[in-house]
Structure 1
Amino acid sequence: MRFKLKDWIDFYRLPSNVYSLELFVTQLTPKEYFGFVEKLRYYTKKDGVSYLSVFSTTSSESAKVVIKHTKKRGRPRKEIVGEKVAGHSHTIIMGTPEKSAYSTAKIIKKSVDKKYQKRVMKIVSLGRDTDHTYNMIGYCFRQAEIVRSGGDFDFKAYYDERSI
């Protein structure tokens, strides 16, 4: 069976707009990151929104995944090698066809800004089905040391399926 162009486009179509939450905190520690993820998990679960959040201490230009075999049973460990930088996070949230994620993003921004007592977060719209959205999801996975995601949408499966 041959796919028509319309079917091919619908297969890769995201259900709603994707928003990036940019956190401008220098020297973000893993403890602070996990606190942010708990806040993110609370608000996204309350509104039924999907999220992807990663923590990285590697520069994006030099980040490379190396599989480390320890000669023990189980899955081999993946290690991110490259030039080390200050800890930072990348966060993406996406709503459903019925509910946009923008209102949830504003609530999360307000909560984080209140915690740091200054403006440290910015909301950026990545669009719905743009190459920029796809590239941002891949960028997150390429340099991520810690990955947290939640909601109904599987960002990893979307990235893997579209890269074929």
Structure 2
Amino acid sequence: QYKYTFNPSLVALPSRMDENGENNTANETDWQYDFTMTLKASRERRHDGQIEIVKTVPAFGGSGAATFVFEIVAELDGETVYSNVESLVFDGAGTKSIVVDSLPVGSTITVSEVYSGANFELSSDPTVTLPLESGFEPVAFEFINDYDGGNNHGTSVNNRYSFEEDPEGALTPDEEGNR
């Protein structure tokens, strides 16, 4: 769940210690050959976990694409640390997947299919909750939808936004507060 970082240190061996036990080669004491060094580590939570949402549509009908929407929530120690939606678009029968990364290792992930596409019925569990125990392989969340015989179709859009602290060229308010 954590990444440990050890900062490099340079230690001369053998060495001399002063009266406070600190490394000091200018000291007039005897050389110390039995020397113990303690490394200091920093610790930060790992955010390299991945999940894979796997969607299977065994049969496909209608005259257009079908969109399936999934809500993803990650909780860690009772706190929501990630919440977003992803979508998969099908234009025929088959299996597709999407990988979501940069999730905190050790969190509990809940994936819910919140929209099952026009002309399709969810035939698997609508919500799957699994632990994200390591960041080495994606945890798979699988969903299956069956064609219901209809002829409706639709499409979707997936917006992506990013936040920058102080982007270059950002508009600043004038004296009246206008931008």
TM over 0.5: no
> Normalized per residue, which structure has more strand?
2
Larger Rg: 2
**TM-score, with normalisation over the residues of structure 1?**
0.31
> Normalized per residue, which structure has more helix?
1
Taking CA–CA contacts closer than 8 Å with sequence separation of 6 or more, which of the two structures ends up with the larger relative contact order?
1
**TM-score, with normalisation over the residues of structure 2?**
0.29
